[in-house]
Chain A
Amino acid sequence: QKEVEQNSGPLSVPEGAIASLNCTYSDRVSQSFFWYRQYSGKSPELIMSIYSNGDKEDGRFTAQLNKASQYVSLLIRDSQPSDSATYLCAVIYYGQNFVFGPGTRLSVLP
């Protein structure tokens, strides 16, 4: 099965800063990309989906997709302590189902 890689954490940022989370994948044919947030002991929650090159903004969150370089990133502006969680990148590879990365743990320090 193809892999999805994420920058290893934990990532610590001060409150109010921008948190940048990165994800790389291995197949240029992939069309669907997702970011999920998972709090400890809880189930993953969908934050963003992105299907085409460029940026997609939703509130404080911006997803960026670059298919030529095969990476997708998530920016969190004005980070809050409540954003502290593990962020999972997921890719649907052609002919396969959702493949999740190992996750990056984010800590936002008050």
Chain B
Amino acid sequence: NAGVMQNPRHLVRRRGQEARLRCSPMKGHSHVYWYRQLPEEGLKFMVYLQKENIIDESGMPKERFSAEFPKEGPSILRIQQVVRGDSAAYFCASSLDRNTEAFFGQGTRLTVV
């Protein structure tokens, strides 16, 4: 029973490029959460999705960031025209339903150069 899978584990992008981060939830899980974490800081909520729907995107910047969770395939967090301040660890978590425990993937470390 595979856990939450994120890829790539490390991603380097030049300023102005696009970054695509993928998250495959645990089998049977239809709820996905994305968080960002800067070094030595806490987890900052970005977006919560359920299959084909964005439930809460209150933590996501209005510009350059978007997320989706299609009926088939992984959830995608997309960052357009990356800037140095986007460098962080991005974690995805999935849960069976809204009020139960969530399990995290290993994260994607994004570095913008």
Contacts and interface: CB of A to CB of B under 8 A. Distances in A.
B100 A32 contact: yes
B43 A88 contact: yes
A88 B103 contact: no
A49 B105 contact: no
A97 B48 contact: yes
A44 B91 contact: yes
A31 interface: yes
A102 B59 CA distance: 16
B102 interface: yes
A104 B4 CA distance: 25
Contacts of A36: 104
Contacts, number: 50
A100 B105 contact: no
Contact-residue bracket for chain B? 20 to 34
A45 B101 CA distance: 11
Contacts of A46: 101-104
A97 B33 contact: yes
B25 interface: no
Contact of A100 (B45, B48, B101): B45
A42 to B, nearest CB: 8
Given A43-B104, A43-B106, A97-B48, A88 B98 contact: no
A36 to B, nearest CB: 8
Interface of B: 33, 35, 41-43, 45, 48, 55-56, 58-59, 91, 93, 98-107
Interface of A: 1, 31-32, 34, 36, 42-46, 49, 88, 92, 96-103
Given A92-B98, A97-B45, A97-B98, 14 more contacts: A1-B45, A1-B59, A34-B102, A44-B43, A44-B93, A44-B104, A46-B101, A46-B103, A49-B100, A49-B101, A97-B55, A98-B102, A99-B45, A100-B35
